[in-house]
Amino acid sequence: MNKNIEDKDFLEILKGRHIPILTLDPKWELLFADEGIPEDIRQKADELNHLLSVQSILRGQMKERKRQKSQLLEEMVDLREQARQTEENVLIEQELQRHREQINECNQKLEELTEAQIGLPTQIYELNFSLMLMTMDLCYRDMQENTDKIRLSNEWIRQVRIELKKQLIRKQESEFH
């Protein structure tokens, strides 16, 4: 079958479907249990796993920064409450200023992390989709090879049956005469 036709057919099959991340699915690796994962598919899978790892790290960093910012905001509320109750406003104002600077740093880091994350979901989707097409192509070729082997085996069996029938007839004829 023509490669472009196969890709077109595969694209039609996948159109509008949610494709889970293949490298996270143990059943996906079972497809390659007999012969191992081909190098081109392994490279694509490694690239996908790397992007997933980067995404996970960025999410963890964002979560930590948000937690840190929330804690700083809570401390600022407490400091403002203290400022109303005491006369030591200078020290408290310095502490509030330090918290504001840290919050600004958190906001800046959150923006950087958000920017770094923006293209990742699309890249991950495209890599996973490409990996799915490669996997489907490989499995389809394997099925075609197996079908051809079955066809050859069936033809061989048919020929052997014919030969056995001929030999049986010869044997019966020789016994009869």
DSSP sequence for 116-172: HHHTHHHHHHHHHHHHHHHHHHHHHHHHHHHHHHHHHHHHHHHHHHHHHHHHHHHHH
Domains contained in the chain, CATH given: 3-134 (1.20.120)
Give me the pLDDT at residue 2, please: 45
pLDDT at 42 over 90: yes
Separation of alpha carbons 97 and 103, rounded Å: 10
As a whole number, mean pLDDT of residues 131-149 equals 92
pLDDT at 74 over 80: yes
Separation of alpha carbons 98 and 159, rounded Å: 90
Q: How confident is the model at residue 92 (pLDDT cuts 50, 70, 90)?
A: confident
Mean pLDDT of the chain: 90
Give me the pLDDT at residue 11, please: 73
pLDDT at 84 over 90: no
pLDDT at 146 over 80: yes
Give me the pLDDT at residue 1, please: 42
**DSSP run (H or E) holding 104:** helix 89-118
Give me the pLDDT at residue 9, please: 74
- Please tell me what DSSP assigns to residue 119: T
Q: What is the pTM of this model?
A: 0.73
As a whole number, mean pLDDT of residues 128-157 equals 94
Separation of alpha carbons 109 and 66, rounded Å: 10
pLDDT at 6 over 60: no
Q: How confident is the model at residue 79 (pLDDT cuts 50, 70, 90)?
A: confident
For residue 27, the one-letter residue type is K
Give the count of beta carbons closer than 10 Å to the beta carbon of residue 35.
9
Separation of alpha carbons 59 and 120, rounded Å: 11
Separation of alpha carbons 125 and 132, rounded Å: 10
